[in-house]
Amino acid sequence: MKVSIPTENGALAAQYSKQATADQQYKGHPIISFPVQIADVPTGTQSLAFVFYDDDAIPVGGFTWIHWIAANLPADTTAIPANASQTGVIPMIQGNNSTAGGYTGETDLKVTQHYVGPYPPDQDHDYTFKLYALDTQLPLSAGYWLNNFYKASAGHILATAQTVVVGKK
């Protein structure tokens, strides 16, 4: 299985990250999700899921920052277009990102249960997009947590693929 995200000069394009213009942000967060290309999904796949996260946030905030999680995408998905998180053009169940919970105080579901782009505070960060091919639809509801995904997907992962993109400070 393969997954790719287009970059500009080796980094995630401005409209998907910290450099997004004011009209491309919501409540100070870049919310236009980037496009994704998917290929070679294994036979027997019943759904796709993904996690987009920042391990470089650990020294800054003490934990991996989750920017976007989604499950139950159709198995035949080969492209996720830009802004799919907000438009719903691709059916998916979106979970909580790291702005949810008590850390930031944010409660707006448009922010907490959708894509929130990279906003590295200290230096360029590497962001990982990990795609999962699953042999079932997962019993998850909107606003699920990443640990719920891990528990529900255990024993159902047929393949994974990942790519890393740079988010500019």
**Domains of the chain by residue range:** 2-167
How far apart (Å, rounded) are the C-alpha atoms in residues 69 and 83?
Answer: 14
pTM across the whole model? 0.95
Digit-by-digit pLDDT tens for the chain (169 residues) are: 999 999 999 899 999 999 999 999 999 999 999 999 999 999 999 999 999 999 999 999 889 999 999 999 999 999 999 999 999 999 999 999 999 977 778 899 999 999 999 999 899 999 999 999 999 999 999 999 999 999 999 999 999 999 999 999 9
According to the CATH classification, is domain 2-167 in 3.90.280.10? yes
